[in-house]
Structure 1
Amino acid sequence: MIRYSPKSARAIGYLKQFYNDIEIYVEDTASPNTHLLICRRILGPEARLTSVTPLGSKEQVIAACRLDQIEPKRKRLYVIDGDFDLILRRPKPRLRHLYRLRAYCIENLILSETAIEAVCLQISPLSQPPKVHALLDLRAWLTTLANNLRPLFISYAICNEIDPTIQTVGATVYSMCISEAKEPKLETTKVFRRIRAMLRNCRATSSSTDIREVRSRVEEVLSGDIRDLKYVSGKDYILPLLYHRLRNLFELPIRVEQLKVQLAAQYEPSQEPFYARRLRREAGI
């Protein structure tokens, strides 16, 4: 996928103005259509939108936005993921036309129960909604995920604050899974082994007092619904496990990137109402 430099971003947006009523710049280069479909669901038929512009990384998006603080008449929005900044309460750069998602990444927004069940009904058209609902058992599945992944991402956030050079999300989720009924499932012992290893790495570079202080801040942010996984990487941890679950239950005939697009096509703006409000405002709707 082509990615554009911060300096060329405005020029690309200008070239696309004949096809887009608003310029949207994103990090994602692997699946920009996920962003595109989400934006279309938010804007509806009131705005033309044929593409978004991928810039490659959060830093690239912020740099492009910083270079684009004038020209008040142009309609545009630069979108970045929340990542660890949300859970660590790091301030968003004070830039016009910049929006930071209130979730770890864009994939978190498409993982609603309604969207997942709708995709399953498309995959398995002979199945009735009650059967699909019962087979997926998403509430129980998400609760099990949260019991494992929330403590893991607490340790990841602590390490990211103490020493950003420590590898966190880059470790594959499959290394903490066992194969059960043709489906990889998180194994609690492996997850907590990973957590202990992360905290040992932190102690090598920081004091126990500092670690406790960061942990206290993070746990305060995470004091809501136990099933809330918005601070966990949807792209690298939740979506891969969901993909294999759907392959197992419904013989899913598509790749994970195609699943993302199908879920995005079912996106509900209420998943991130602040994003919907900001995007519509920037588009003048």
Structure 2
Amino acid sequence: MPPTDSLVTGTADSEDTLDLQLPADFLALRVTGEPGAGQDTGAAQNAGVGAVQNAEAAQGVEAVQDSSPVWGTVLPLLGGDLLDQVAEWGPTTTAAGEFQLRPVRLDRDLPLISQWMNDPAVAAFWELAGPADVTEAHLAAQLTGDGRSVPCLGVLDGTPMSYWELYRADLDPLARHYPARPHDTGLHLLLGDVADRGRGVGSILLRAVADLVLDRRPACTRVVAEPDVRNVPSLAAFLNAGFRFSAEVDLPGKRAALMLRDRSLRSLL
């Protein structure tokens, strides 16, 4: 549950994580199946990701302390994430223009994201103001992690204009605070340009990204967000984007509104 809100909000607290129980065949792949001479790397990737998906379907998820580096090493090795390859989702057409999520690359994107984090309106919630290495540490924790959280730039008509975090809410500490379902997908949003705030762009993009998640992640039945209850503009943006208010939950550092966009209701809201 890294940020505390989803339009201009967040915290850098990501100290605790949930994890999956790894099946024995997946651990065997970790030990003996690393790509080498004569091995089909693509087959190894497919086998590993398939094992993860099968394990989730058969066992669900378990809230445990992260006591092993296995996920942090296996998922990068397999070239995957736990969000069905966000990098391959492609663009989508919205009322604001053509939009695409582009996974963050530190060497290319850090200066811009750090600049946004130093906007006082953003810093009040994300708490990442200061030198670029503050933002770098926040991004690196996700980029070198196990793939359960993917930081992205939102690119509108070719121009980077927003920062997003897509994450597996069912594998996040957030899951301890609501009845999570397997593959629940959470999101956070920061609109970088002040000119894009307060004129409906946030709602348009929230709906577009939620629909992308539901289209590209067949196992996901709902998209989750947890904006601060005091952030009325953010709550309105989510409601306008087809999310529904589910409950108020007490999270570390804030009282949040649990917002859900359901696959079953997407054509009605």
The TM-score with structure 2 as length reference comes to 0.22
Q: Which structure has greater helix proportion?
A: 1
The TM-score with structure 1 as length reference comes to 0.22
- Tell which structure's C-alpha radius of gyration is larger: 1
Higher relative contact order (CA 8 A, sep 6+): 1
Q: Which structure has greater strand proportion?
A: 2
